[in-house]
Amino acid sequence: MNSKKIGVLGGGQLGRMLVEAASRLNISVTILDSPVNSPAKQIQATSTHVHGDFKDPLKIQELAQNVDVLTIEIEHVDVEILEKLFSKKSVEIHPHPYTIRIIQDKFLQKTHLSQNEIPVVDFIDIPDKESLNIAIEKFSYPIMLKSKLLAYDGRGNYVINSEDEITDALKTLGNFKIPLYVERWTPFVKELAVMVIRSVDGVIKSYPVVETVHKENICHLVIVPAQVDGVILRCAKEIAEKAIQTLKGAGIFGVEMFLMKNGQIYINEIAPRPHNSGHYTIEACETSQYENHIRSILNMPIGSTSLKVPAAAMINVLGKSEDIHETLGPCVEALTTPGATIHLYGKKECRKGRKMGHITVVADSISQLYKRINPILNIDDENDT
């Protein structure tokens, strides 16, 4: 389909699902990640992968020498070397390093969005403890303290409810070793997300608006279409597309949003890569987020983003403990659930809260969907410790 070779920084589950989509189109993918237990490398035996850290500039250079297009499955990469490679034009890079730089720093990301008149919740830089006190005075408790860098699955967030918690919050987030900022606590009624695909020429298309439900800061359940009224759906789509228009480069983006009681929508954060809230697209849409990412970075026509079923859900299989059997309870249930597809990522070690796999369920209606997913969710709840 395309003779260009793709190199991916990161070889986790998102890389694995990119490899799956690429292999159907017979497109070559080379992965940069640690030598052991990379979910993406496990299923791509036809390429010689690069073993090393996706934050290591030398390893990124080595990958770049062996491929035509570089892309990422994680934003926490060394962006300086990407900028250098980009300016030398030695390899194509998607999304643009400018986009990765903005997004990998949550404070910079929020500043960029607000400068572009995209709604985000109020936020304040916290260079030291004194400025934290000023922020608390301004926002009052609770407040959300966040790491600017390296955050995922809520690690890097701390909700401060009272003065007694300040010391522990600062200690947990590394006492300013990683820079911090504060967001106003946002009592949303729902979290929404939209996957947006952008072509090399900057043309934008979005997937349906989904509803995401988090458990202890980690995405647990995705329902599509989001069960909100049409005005909200239109508004979420518009905001997500407008935000991606302000960025550069091709590829798929995940836009996380908060829906308030009065209908106001704020962007929480953007991921410049395939996203957990878009896993459902593999079974439920005409073209998956993974295939469209590959198509867009190779400058191929972007496929339809429409749903091909009336309703779908995605349930994350999160590690319950080190015991994989307990964790796989929902998957065993899903083996006999109509419309269910199980994805396991091949991670060697199971840990509490670790994303070990996911289950997608499709249905002919929202009520049929809930009938199908409820037994899976019940097993999942029973195994919570």
Q: Which residues bind Mg ion (CB under 5 A)?
A: 256, 269
Are 8 and 30 spatial neighbours (Cβ–Cβ below 8 Å)? yes
Per DSSP, the three-state class of 82 is: helix
Closest approach of ligand ATP to the CB of residue 319, in Å: 15
Burial group, residue 9, by CB count within 10 angstroms (0-12, 13-18, 19+): buried
Give the residue from 88, 67, 63 showing the smallest Cα distance to 77: 63
Q: Which residue has the tokens 């967030």?
A: 157
Q: Which is nearer to Mg ion, 67 or 226 (CB)?
A: 226
Closest approach of ligand ATP to the CB of residue 213, in Å: 9
Closest approach of ligand ATP to the CB of residue 17, in Å: 16
Give the strand pairing for 29-33 and 6-9.
parallel
| Residue 176 binding: pick among ligand ATP, Mg ion, none (C-beta 5-8 Å cut-off by kind) | none
Structure tokens at 10: 């990161």
Q: Which is nearer to ligand ATP, 152 or 176 (CB)?
A: 152
Q: Which is nearer to ligand ATP, 199 or 289 (CB)?
A: 289
Q: Which is nearer to ligand ATP, 182 or 334 (CB)?
A: 182
Q: Which is nearer to ligand ATP, 63 or 257 (CB)?
A: 257
User: Which strand (E) or helix (H) includes residue 257?
Assistant: strand 251-259
Long-range CB pairs of 155-162, under 8 A, 24+ apart, other chains included: 155/217, 157/217, 159/185, 160/136
Residue type, 230: G
Residues 110/116/122/128 CA torsion (nearest 10 deg): 50
For 30, residues 6+ apart whose C-beta sits below 8 A from its C-beta are 5, 6, 7, 8, 47, 48, 49, 50, 63, 66, 67
| Residue 5 binding: pick among ligand ATP, Mg ion, none (C-beta 5-8 Å cut-off by kind) | none
| Residue 214 binding: pick among ligand ATP, Mg ion, none (C-beta 5-8 Å cut-off by kind) | ligand ATP
Q: Distance between CA 130 and CA 208 in Å, rounded?
A: 43
Instruction: Point out which residues bind ligand ATP (CB under 6 A).
Output: 121, 144, 151-154, 156-157, 183, 185-186, 191, 214, 217, 256, 268-269
| Residue 380 binding: pick among ligand ATP, Mg ion, none (C-beta 5-8 Å cut-off by kind) | none
Closest approach of ligand ATP to the CB of residue 140, in Å: 13
Q: Which is nearer to ligand ATP, 65 or 140 (CB)?
A: 140
| Residue 120 binding: pick among Mg ion, ligand ATP, none (C-beta 5-8 Å cut-off by kind) | none
| Residue 252 binding: pick among ligand ATP, Mg ion, none (C-beta 5-8 Å cut-off by kind) | none
Closest approach of Mg ion to the CB of residue 217, in Å: 8
| Residue 191 binding: pick among ligand ATP, Mg ion, none (C-beta 5-8 Å cut-off by kind) | ligand ATP
Q: Which is nearer to ligand ATP, 191 or 283 (CB)?
A: 191
